[in-house]
Chain A
């Protein structure tokens, strides 16, 4: 729902701005090259060349709401989790496990790509499937079925 509020800024600026807020705008004095963010921010090496998937979550089939539809997210393909024997809670060995789902959300595919490039992630983009609106009418319920069939069979 915050989409319209941020719409005016340029996509690139938004990409830089949205999650990390390291730079103020696209007219920043510092130029960032791909991969640099990851190196500068001291992220462990094994997370620098991660494989991520950029996708746009589909509308939940169970609900009408479309407020979250059209956002782009990054899935870190993280499955390193287990049920902790102490409390039965879920533990994870991956610092990014909960980042993609909860924290990263982009207004456009380009923004998500730019973000991934900046961090040096190896990304693939999944196609976004959109619904097809076809005309339909209430009157179709009462459409004439045509003339009665003659006895042919």
Chain B
């Protein structure tokens, strides 16, 4: 923390002299005085005469931040500690300081929330201003001379800190925030070593916010970040600031649980230990944890996360910055599903004996049995199903293996019977998640983004809040956290819009950047192709696809879905399952196996003993996403990698390695034996999967696609996700998720 060092220097001139004596060239240390060589000529005349030995190095904004200039003409120049910095007009003083690489201490200010200006920690000195200025709320004006480490600023912050610490308990040794607490850090820089407050400290009753967020309200410093988060981002107006003066407290007034799917983020934004993670309480200290930067696979968004592990155990999951996908939030499912990684895991290969019980065997035996059965059935009776958590490597291995066995019945669950896998824009979120912020009209068809993809929903909500974009929805009744028009519940309304008979058509036509979002739940419908041609008709009619804007989006449900479509795992399960004699489930738990013949041999390869295991004859244990390297493509077609954070459980192996080993035992050896070679194979099928963190813009226009001449059934749309907290084998195994769905889901 830059300001800690600076403050230490300021408070200890002795240390400073020591430092400068040791290093012959003291320029890297920042001085309070401005650098005359770099400031404007007219101001340098007034600046101090002290010669500066070398020009200061160019400063980079805090955290490598990029500045968003609406137009170059809007730039203004301000001076932060004498260093000139160009910033867009309308930025605050605090943002100007950030652009100049100076991290201003703050509690209430958060870059993704509105500005409250109530903690006063960000006081800086501005030349010609009689008092210190709260930099978070003060607009930067051209030519402003901001001084961030003067004695005045430091004294002001020390005063603020003393007030903050007045009622703050001395809890740090038993506080879960200890070690990663902004108040702790900043009191190292600005706190006094003794208190002058002799009265008793106040105490506040703890609130019950549900099974995820633990509250110790006495620690609260009333920054109101959580209130603003709940109101602005999560869209559940439950939290508020109650009372006044020293009796002020954060709460819900009436007993109420926080029923947002994003509630876990208040744990992150709380600068003190008032809101901490309930499942993580007293489990570990943050300095014991090893962070691994990975991605989330519980939905199709691919939120960027950091998996914090201690030894062989995942301790918690935190969001990681990615402006294009999840900003800095993650959903509760992402954050708290980690305890599912430790429960109901499959450790050893197992074979179901004649008594119906599973018996642990060696890999050699298990693979031999599977290979033998696979050769006994006819090639077309072999079916492989990839699960919703499968990575691209394992899916290509499965496909190659089955193809070599002579079968082409490979599919991925959730992708439905009839598919448009030929053109990528037909199954991707073409306007990108970040691009949704440009849209001014949303038409949600058969999708409930709040439960299907909370991060996409947060984007839509952000757009609606910022620009009053209109949202229209077709589908079953559901709850949104923004205003919307419920146009209808089924294809009937869709046809009306397509034929221009619906009042919504005028809204759609007047929109500059209309965005249609189609839910992947519709893939399950028999008439999906007909539906899609109706949707395409709407897109054509509403001019949704323009040269610079593709607003026809599909919102997928599962992490594996788009990669499976890229790789061509597109068989129709309605046709293949009833005739299957050898079924290879690669983590597939949600596929309907009712029509499967009784004499079919089922191999379940996966990491959890979930639904798929009940019917399995052989179990092959594999690694979960926190234990393997894998490529996942998110719903906008951006591929990302998971990174192993912890070792696999028991005798489990990576999915693609199991398939590779099996292929060898079966005598159809796959030509790759390391992950690089698998990726080289992927390059031949879907090269886009290898350009990580990149999105290809879609250029396909509507005209190229043939219209579908299928009959549209008028059955209303159904919900794709029943229970937000339990959608896959990891979350179903999680105790925390079970608690959440018991207490938080609305019945």
Contacts and interface: CB of A to CB of B under 8 A. Distances in A.
Contacts of B173: none
A46 interface: no
Contact of A131 (B2, B106, B311, B321): B321
A110 to B, nearest CB: 15
Contact of A75 (B1, B292, B647): B292
Contact of B92 (A75, A131, A136): A136
Contact of B293 (A57, A90, A140): A57
Nearest to A127: B693
A62 B180 contact: yes
Interface string A62-94: 111111011000010101111100000110000
Interface in B147-183: 177, 180-182
Contacts of A4: 28-29, 57
A58 B2 CA distance: 17
Given A5-B23, A55-B293, A138-B115, A63 B63 contact: no
Interface string B54-73: 00010011111111101000
A129 B322 contact: yes
B139 interface: yes
A137 B87 CA distance: 14
Interface in B133-157: 136-139
Interface in B223-264: none
Interface in B1-49: 1-2, 4-5, 23, 25, 28-29
Interface residues of B, number: 76
A40 interface: no
A57 B321 CA distance: 10
B198 interface: no
A140 B117 CA distance: 12
B270 to A, nearest CB: 8
Given A57-B291, A79-B648, A130-B64, A63 B180 contact: yes
B63 A130 contact: yes
A135 B90 contact: yes
Contacts of B95: 133, 135-136
Interface string B98-111: 11000101100001
Contacts of A7: 28, 57
A41 interface: no
B643 interface: yes
A101 B92 CA distance: 36
Given A58-B306, A60-B180, A66-B103, A129 B321 contact: yes
A82 to B, nearest CB: 6
Contact of B311 (A8, A53, A59, A90): A90
Contacts of A63: 180-182, 185
Interface stretch (B312-320, B353-361, B449-457): B312-320
Contact of A133 (B91, B139, B177, B268): B91
A30 interface: no
Interface string B618-630: 0000000001010
A57 B63 CA distance: 10
A117 B95 CA distance: 38
A22 interface: no
B63 A66 contact: yes
Nearest to B60: A70
A65 B103 contact: yes
B323 A129 contact: yes
Interface in B270-323: 271, 290-293, 304, 306, 310-312, 318-323
A53 to B, nearest CB: 7
A128 interface: yes
A1 B322 contact: no
A61 interface: yes
A93 to B, nearest CB: 10
Contacts of A77: 629, 643-644
Given A5-B23, A66-B2, A66-B62, A137 B28 contact: no
A131 B57 CA distance: 22
A64 B180 contact: no
A59 B68 contact: no
Q: Which of A58, A69, A70, A128 has the most CB of B within 10 A?
A: A58
Contacts, number: 168
A64 B189 CA distance: 14
A58 B321 contact: yes
B114 interface: yes
B495 to A, nearest CB: 24
Contacts of B644: 77, 79
B192 interface: no
B536 to A, nearest CB: 30
Contacts of B137: 138
B328 interface: yes
A133 B643 CA distance: 28
Contacts of A62: 177, 180, 267-268, 318
Nearest to A122: B676
B385 interface: no
B646 interface: yes
Contact of A1 (B2, B57, B99, B629): B2
Contacts of B139: 137-139
A82 B117 CA distance: 48
B423 interface: no
Contacts of A69: 62-64
B647 A82 contact: yes
Contact of B67 (A80, A81, A129, A133): A133
B68 A132 contact: yes
B103 A75 contact: no
A57 B320 CA distance: 9
B692 interface: yes
Contacts of A79: 627, 644-648
Q: Which of B115, B267, B311, B322 has the most CB of A within 10 A?
A: B311
A58 B320 contact: yes
A132 B89 contact: no
Contacts of B321: 58-59, 61, 129-131
A64 to B, nearest CB: 5
Contact of B66 (A59, A130, A139): A130
B417 interface: no
Contacts of A140: 114-115
B468 to A, nearest CB: 9
Given A131-B66, A131-B321, A135-B88, A101 B312 contact: no
Given A75-B643, A79-B644, A79-B646, A61 B5 contact: no
A32 B70 CA distance: 47
Given A5-B23, A129-B321, A59 B63 contact: yes
Shortest Cβ-Cβ A-B pairs, 4 listed: A4-B28, A90-B311, A138-B137, A135-B90
5 contacts: A57-B291, A64-B1, A83-B312, A131-B65, A133-B99
Given A8-B25, A65-B103, A66-B62, 18 more contacts: A1-B1, A51-B675, A62-B268, A62-B318, A75-B292, A79-B644, A80-B647, A82-B312, A83-B312, A122-B676, A126-B693, A129-B323, A131-B111, A132-B65, A133-B61, A133-B91, A133-B95, A135-B95
Interface of B: 1-2, 4-5, 23, 25, 28-29, 57, 60-68, 70, 88-92, 95, 98-99, 103, 105-106, 111, 114-115, 117, 136-139, 177, 180-182, 185, 267-268, 271, 290-293, 304, 306, 310-312, 318-324, 328, 627, 629, 641, 643-648, 675-676, 692-693
Interface of A: 1, 4-5, 7-8, 51, 53, 55, 57-67, 69-70, 75, 77, 79-83, 89-90, 101, 122, 126-141
